[in-house]
Amino acid sequence: MKKLVLWLIFVSVSFTFAQESKVQFGLKAGFSEHIMTADFNDYGYEMVGGLGFGFELGGAVRIPLGSRLSIAPEVNLEYHSIKDPDIDVSLNEWMLNTPVTLQFTPRRYGSFFFAVGLLLDIPVYSKVVNNDNKDNWIKGRKDIYINVIPLGLGFTIKNKVKIDCKLAIIGNTDSSLAEVNHVQLKFGVAYYLN
């Protein structure tokens, strides 16, 4: 609960800066690649090389803080399925994810930007399925995860379309379900309405 409260404070402070600047609102779509290791101790599963694919839809905001710096919060509904072929177990999840990145555009490369930030993952629906026995499934994770986005790259076209790629990492997190290491590579396109 503390994580969620801190996250809401961070997002609301971001919007406070928007009062005196030209804020842009848009729609976003994207897809993601996932690599996960998870040790489901209580259930006898250990996912070592889980690979997965996901998609997301949502909204994006860009809040300029200056000519080269902006804050870009998003709210996306994401679905992903991560499977480990060695043990035939999959993790299927619907997540509400809210990345907030600080974007910097170097003077020399006016359309390209770099981004760093945080990504909050809130599980909406999650389950772990043993694919050998479809009746043998357990409820998935319910914990809120804060991921670090150590690197994001993007390109803006005529200040209306943003194409970006973000690397998000959850490192060695103990959850109510398992000990998790999770890396996400997210690709997205946002179209700004104003």
Domain ranges of the chain: 2-16+43-192
The tokens describing 176, both together, are 């109510």
Taking Cα atoms as reference points, which of 24, 125, 113, 114 lies closest to residue 74? 24
Residues of the chain with pLDDT under 70: 1-21, 40-49, 131-141, 171-180
How many residues are there in the chain? Answer: 194
26-59 pLDDT per residue, tens? 999 999 998 877 776 555 666 666 788 999 999 9
SS3 42: helix
CA 178 to the chain's CA centroid = 19
Q: What class, spelled out in words, does domain 2-16+43-192 have in CATH? A: mainly beta
Angle in degrees, CA 28, 72, 14, rounded to 5: 135
Asked if residue 192 lies in contact with residue 24, where contact means CB atoms within 8 angstroms, the answer is yes
Q: Which residue has the tokens 């976003």?
A: 28
Q: What's at 83, amino acid-wise?
A: K
pTM for this prediction: 0.77
